[in-house]
Amino acid sequence: MAYNSKDFYPRPDFVHGNNRWTPLNEGWSILFDDEDVGLKEAWQINGIPDKVSVSSSNNSVSEAEAQKLAAFPELKEKGFQAPKSQARENVKKPINVPFAFQTPASGVHDNDAHEVLWYENKVVDPREKAEIEAGDRVLARFGAVDYDVTIWASGHRVGQHRGGHVPFDIDITDALANAWKNNDKGELHLVLRIRDSPHDLAQPRGMYKSISAEWQKYLFRDLGIWQPVWLEVVPPTRIGDSSAGTVLKSNNISEGLLEARVAVLGRRAGHAYSVEIEGYLYSVSVAKKRENLPSDKDYVSINLCLSLSDDQKSNAPPTLAQDAPYYDSHSWRGTLALWSPDHPTLYDLSIRLYDSDGKLIDEVKTYTGFRNIDWNRGDRTLRLNGKPLFQALTLDQGYWPETGLTPPSPDSLRLDIELTKKMGFNGCRKHQKVEDPVFLYWADRLGFLVWGEMANAYEFNEDYAERFSQEWVEAVKRDINHPSIITWTPVNGTTLDSTRPINDNCGWEHVITDLSTFHDYSDAPELSKTCATLEGILGKKLADRDFFVGPLTLKDGRTDSGTKHREGAPVICSEFGGVNIAPAKGTEGGDRDWGYTTASDPKDLLKRLEALIQAVVQGGHICGFVYTQLSDVEQEVNGLYSFDRREKIPADEVSKLIEAARNTYFKSLPKGI
């Protein structure tokens, strides 16, 4: 299965003006290095061999079983015996990137655990002669590679990255220059060594699958390359993206002010540069401003007012008033167009970089959406643009049957948003996954709220905290400019972004949080009783967990008073539901199929869904919910859609239930809110 991305740039939210990129998803090979001999045998220099022998050991077990026992040591107490590994031969195979080797779409479809993987491919210099003479650079860009990767270009080490859910770039320009000298073709041999230990429980992993029949709730995890790879030609001095430090802050809706911090990469000492931002609304130029790059910084700050003048408003195309009616206070704050799920109006931005002679040397096309999030009114509301917002979200784990965590194509990401909105939901909580940037691009354009989340590990220690923090910072920086991101979860990241609320530990045992969130998979009668009072909501949760961390006494005698619900903080049921449908009469369900509760048929599922939703909202204490879940995922057959995205119940009927819940919420608000 080929990943069709030749016409869709992997980062459509931030496009350099020359648009010089080439997909690098084809031509890859993979070899499993189960005894870790590759470095010793210099595969990075000599190339990956066609095959490698794996010896038998009386003291070792297969990697898959080792992973199982490491993750769940209680299996040993239950008498679980892992089979011994057998002598075998691993053969180099072609692989369809960006699909992980475990998936059918990869063409490899190997479900065993492999700690060390090697990938290789040939790379040809994509630059034209004029671009080479101008000194343009070539980046090998990786959407995500799991977990610790080292990269060589024709035997020369060119980079390394740790973290399986975030992007990184490797500059291969100098290696290409050597290639031109050596083979007169500008051709490189690119080699990747990837290590992902199944024994390392402090590694952020997300919902990966254990093969044990006693632990079926853990999902298949994708290792190696699992997001797109591409080559990109960029100027030597250029505008950096958000990962490099460019931040487009657009929450100041009272003044209509875009507060931009534009990063510049590759600046030359002793050279002067200036940066200009121009904002457009429906092709009408609204404002532009130019500032010099300070001599002591690699970034420049620019504040740009993007409220329209009367002339600009009158010259705007009719489609603007159709999409964002001028009389609608949800669409406008004075003459500033606002972003919201109902009216996702975006301003297009051109960011330009000039040299000291005023010559344009780089330009980026991006966008922003003006919206303000307020969670500190003390009246249990979360407000968008000054108005109470009811969040009706789905839990979205982002899996597909043939491709795992990787979408079958970029269009699949847009489809999931459209299917969610079709059922009346206005957003999703991305669960244990940093989703492909293309998903957020469509969320921005289609008006879809997203809770950004990071994958967790299975053991908490100092090593995990350090690794999590590094990768979480990279994830937040990658996504910080998307107006659709409305909440970060987990961990308190206000030092990175003070414009969005933090859900520190989703579901229970909160420490420092802006939102009081909880999980409750009870059936409707019990859930209704819990949500009828704030005291019930703040009580013990799943497995007798506390809602907030209580008082602590440390070993050295010091005490901590613990934490508690902040009076008037927004309360959200961030997981509930999870209802599956019993197999039809005369058929058999899968031996691993499960849900938290079971409906007898689609009609019963719809009835249960209505009761569950009303149970959450009728008490008047909750300003949003996250229903589990959007679609079935492997053995979790409790989705509103099947794994291949077919409706289980009519979308229009679900939409009516969501609208009724929204009405219940707004009717419960005190007058004047």
More confident residue, 255 or 541: 255
Give me the pLDDT at residue 113, please: 80
Q: Does 407 lie in the same domain as 318?
A: no
> What are the phi and psi torsion angles at 636 (to 5°)?
-80, 95
Q: Does 557 lie in the same domain as 508?
A: yes
* Digit-coded pLDDT (tens) for 433-445: 999 999 999 999 9
- Residue 332 sits in a domain whose CATH number is 2.60.40.10
389, 319 Cβ separation under 8 angstroms: no
Q: Does 271 lie in the same domain as 414?
A: no
Q: Does 349 lie in the same domain as 416?
A: no
139, 171 Cβ separation under 8 angstroms: yes
Q: What residues contact residue 444 under an 8 Å CB cut-off, 6+ apart? A: 13, 339, 344, 346, 367, 369, 482, 483, 484
Give me the pLDDT at residue 70, please: 54
Give me the pLDDT at residue 213, please: 39
Query: Can you tell me the distance from the alpha carbon of 280 to that of 46, in angstroms, rounded to the nearest whole number?
Result: 52
> What are the phi and psi torsion angles at 535 (to 5°)?
-60, -40
- The CA-atom distances, in angstroms, between 518 and each of 3, 392, 527, 544 are 38, 15, 12, 13
Alpha helices per DSSP H over 618-644: none
Confidence band (pLDDT; 50, 70, 90) for 507?
Answer: low
Eight-class DSSP state of 594: B
Query: Can you tell me the distance from the alpha carbon of 396 to that of 446, in angstroms, rounded to the nearest whole number?
Result: 17
Query: Is residue 447 domain-resident?
Result: yes
Q: From its phi and psi, is residue 351 left (phi > 0), alpha (psi between -120 and 50) or beta? A: beta
The overall pTM is greater than 0.95:
no
**What share of residues in the chain are helix, strand, coil (percent, to 5)?**
20, 30, 50
Query: Is residue 513 domain-resident?
Result: yes
> What are the phi and psi torsion angles at 403 (to 5°)?
-125, 0
Tokens describing residue 84: 């011994």
Exposed, middle or buried: residue 652 (CB in 10 Å: 0-12, 13-18, 19+)? exposed
Give me the pLDDT at residue 591, please: 54
Q: Is the pLDDT of residue 285 over 80?
A: yes
Tokens describing residue 26: 């084809």
Beta bridge partners of 525: none
Query: Is residue 542 domain-resident?
Result: yes
Average of per-residue pLDDT across 241-257: 97
Q: Is the pLDDT of residue 492 over 50?
A: no
Q: Does 620 lie in the same domain as 506?
A: yes
152, 170 Cβ separation under 8 angstroms: no
* Digit-coded pLDDT (tens) for 559-590: 777 788 889 999 999 999 999 987 755 545 55
Q: Does 247 lie in the same domain as 223?
A: no
> What are the phi and psi torsion angles at 666 (to 5°)?
-70, -30
Question: Among 165, 71, 149, 224, which residue's Cα sits nearest to residue 431?
Answer: 165
Beta bridge partners of 393: 427, 626
Exposed, middle or buried: residue 5 (CB in 10 Å: 0-12, 13-18, 19+)? middle
Look at residues 200, 227, 254 and tell me which one is the last residue of a structural domain. 227
pLDDT cut 70: percent of the chain above it: 89
* Digit-coded pLDDT (tens) for 103-115: 999 999 998 888 9
317, 283 Cβ separation under 8 angstroms: yes
Q: Does 600 lie in the same domain as 461?
A: yes
Give me the pLDDT at residue 548, please: 78
Query: Can you tell me the distance from the alpha carbon of 609 to that of 495, in angstroms, rounded to the nearest whole number?
Result: 39
Q: Does 596 lie in the same domain as 451?
A: yes
Query: Is residue 5 domain-resident?
Result: no
What H or E segment, with its residue span, contains residue 529? helix 524-531
For residues 551, 553, 558, 559, the Cα torsion angle rounded to the nearest 10 degrees is 10
Eight-class DSSP state of 78: T
Strands 449-453 and 427-430: parallel
* Digit-coded pLDDT (tens) for 294-320: 999 999 999 999 999 989 988 899 999
Query: Can you tell me the distance from the alpha carbon of 565 to that of 552, in angstroms, rounded to the nearest whole number?
Result: 17
Question: Among 237, 354, 248, which residue's Cα sits nearest to residue 298?
Answer: 237
Confidence band (pLDDT; 50, 70, 90) for 216?
Answer: very low
Query: Is residue 122 domain-resident?
Result: yes
Beta bridge partners of 603: none
Give me the pLDDT at residue 1, please: 64
* Digit-coded pLDDT (tens) for 362-389: 999 999 999 999 999 999 999 999 999 9
Domain span holding position 117: 15-55+86-227
Tokens describing residue 305: 């007012």
**What is the CA angle 399-400-401, rounded to 5?**
130
Q: What residues contact residue 327 under an 8 Å CB cut-off, 6+ apart? A: none
Query: Is residue 10 domain-resident?
Result: no
Q: What residues contact residue 144 under an 8 Å CB cut-off, 6+ apart? A: 164, 165, 166, 167, 225, 226, 227, 434
Query: Can you tell me the distance from the alpha carbon of 393 to that of 626, in angstroms, rounded to the nearest whole number?
Result: 5
Query: Can you tell me the distance from the alpha carbon of 613 to that of 610, in angstroms, rounded to the nearest whole number?
Result: 5
Q: Return the minimum-mean-pLDDT range out of 11-20, 197-206, 223-232.
A: 197-206
176, 160 Cβ separation under 8 angstroms: no
Q: Does 314 lie in the same domain as 338?
A: yes
More confident residue, 214 or 92: 92
Q: Does 407 lie in the same domain as 338?
A: no
Look at residues 312, 338, 368 and tell me which one is the last residue of a structural domain. 368
Confidence band (pLDDT; 50, 70, 90) for 40?
Answer: very high
Q: Return the minimum-mean-pLDDT range out of 214-228, 435-449, 551-565.
A: 214-228
For residues 568, 665, 542, 373, the Cα torsion angle rounded to the nearest 10 degrees is -50
Q: What residues contact residue 211 under an 8 Å CB cut-off, 6+ apart? A: 64, 65, 68
Tell me the chain's radius of gyration from C-alpha atoms: 26
pLDDT cut 90: percent of the chain above it: 70
Q: From its phi and psi, is residue 183 left (phi > 0), alpha (psi between -120 and 50) or beta? A: alpha
Tokens describing residue 383: 């407000």
Q: Does 197 lie in the same domain as 151?
A: yes
The mean pLDDT value of the chain amounts to 89
3-state secondary structure labels for all residues of 356-409: CCCCEEEEEEEEECCCCEECCCCCCCCEECCEECCEEEEEECCCECCCECCCCC
- Tally of CB atoms within 10 A around 90: 18
Q: Return the minimum-mean-pLDDT range out of 63-72, 90-99, 465-474.
A: 63-72
Query: Can you tell me the distance from the alpha carbon of 391 to that of 382, in angstroms, rounded to the nearest whole number?
Result: 9
Give me the pLDDT at residue 207, please: 63
Q: Return the minimum-mean-pLDDT range out of 63-67, 123-127, 195-199, 528-532.
A: 63-67
Give me the pLDDT at residue 465, please: 86
Query: Is residue 590 domain-resident?
Result: yes
Look at residues 368, 399, 431 and tell me which one is the last residue of a structural domain. 368
493, 499 Cβ separation under 8 angstroms: no
Query: Is residue 66 domain-resident?
Result: no
Q: Return the minimum-mean-pLDDT range out of 182-191, 475-484, 656-665.
A: 182-191
- Tally of CB atoms within 10 A around 241: 21
Give me the pLDDT at residue 74, please: 52
Average of per-residue pLDDT across 387-399: 96
Task: Give the chain's domain count.
Answer: 3
Q: Does 500 lie in the same domain as 443?
A: yes
Angle at which helices 462-479 and 437-446 pack, to 10 degrees? 50
- Residue 202 sits in a domain whose CATH number is 2.60.120.260
Query: Can you tell me the distance from the alpha carbon of 581 to that of 454, in angstroms, rounded to the nearest whole number?
Result: 30
Give me the pLDDT at residue 493, please: 45
Average of per-residue pLDDT across 585-596: 60
